Amino acid sequence: MPSNELKALLAMRWANRPDPLGPVEQIRSQDKTDPGRTPCQGATFDGLDADGVYCEWVDWETPTTESVFLYLHGGGYYRSSGPASRMAASNLSKACGCRCFTADYRLAPEHTFPAAIDDTYTAYQWLLQQGLSPRQVVVGGSSAGGGLTAALLAKLKMSGKEMPAAAVLLSPWTDLTQSSESYNTNAERDPSIWKEYLDVAAERYLGGADPKNPLASPLFSDMEGHPPLLIQVGKEETMYGDAEAYADKARQASVEVEFQVFDDVPHAWHNSEQHVPGIPEVWQALGQIGDFFRSHVQ
């Protein structure tokens, strides 16, 4: 049974479904006042320029490791931001005992594919230029950020660059063709995401590019040699099929995969502490992320 806090979050999601055709600037104006811009108690943040990409260090208290979690926000590639993810990043910092590094990648429709993956790649390389080993970096993100995480792995493989220690995909959007059967089977269960909404977001981001380009839809990428993966998704998400298909293909490529399915939770529930504090299902997931992080970094 869902907790009372999760029930409150679900009610909030159903009452505030996004308008896929709403003006982008109006939607982004709401993001500017998102309570997620305030990190959790005990956390600090500091902005910087990482070779042209605005990024932030977000730290909860004193990290217990020099390893880093590179976090990529969601928002369908057209909304949200690194600064709007301070709460999510600080909770990850708390759960993992590490510094969290957020990348404020460029957004569509002003900056179409491949702007987001290019900025993500730049942020990752900047971290390594600061003296970090790839074995000290875990990359992760939720929704579009989960897709970007997978796309970064694909780009690193194509470029012959060293992979991070591991990757964490949270409710990931891995296929911009929206072909999964779960868009039909879970259409009446998911309060946040539906096929037509993602069709509009994908069109904005792709700008005419092939939706099966592996750097846009990493489900179509070559996954051989990828690092260990943690994939978390809600059983009732319309994007459940994106997560499952990516996990299955990764396993077929002999990648180590932890595929964790949660009952009752909505899309990207990890990022909800600023709306309904203390959701047990959020902290259960974060605890498992922390365990995964610690087991894979140097």
* pLDDT, position 131: 97
Residue of 143, 171, 180, 217 with catalytic role: 143
Number of domains present in the structure of the chain = 1
Residue of 226, 267, 270, 296 with catalytic role: 267
Which domain does 29 fall in, by range? 4-15+22-296
- Whether 143 sits among the annotated catalytic residues: the reply is yes
- Whether 159 sits among the annotated catalytic residues: the reply is no
Residues 6+ apart with CB under 8 A from 185: none
Distance between CA atoms of residues 124 and 61, nearest Å: 23
Residue of 56, 236, 237, 281 with catalytic role: 237
- Whether 90 sits among the annotated catalytic residues: the reply is no
103 with 51: CB under 8 angstroms? no
* Residue of 123, 132, 49 whose CA lies nearest to 98: 132
Distance between CA atoms of residues 19 and 11, nearest Å: 17
Note down pLDDT in tens along the chain; length 298 residues: 999 999 999 999 999 998 888 888 888 888 788 999 999 999 999 999 999 999 999 999 999 999 999 999 999 999 999 999 999 999 999 999 999 999 999 999 999 999 999 999 999 999 999 999 999 999 999 999 999 999 999 999 999 999 999 999 999 999 999 999 999 999 999 999 999 999 999 999 999 999 999 999 999 999 999 999 999 999 999 999 999 999 999 999 999 999 999 999 999 999 999 999 999 999 999 999 999 999 999 7
Record the pTM.
0.98
* pLDDT, position 92: 98
Half-sphere exposure of 246 (CA within 13 A, CB side): 38
Using a 10 angstrom Cβ sphere, with 0-12 exposed, 13-18 middle and 19 or more buried, the burial of residue 245 is middle
Residues 6+ apart with CB under 8 A from 69: 89, 92, 93, 96, 98, 99, 100, 101, 137, 138, 139, 140, 168, 293
CATH number at residue 50: 3.40.50.1820
Query: Residue 252's beta-bridge partner residues?
Result: none
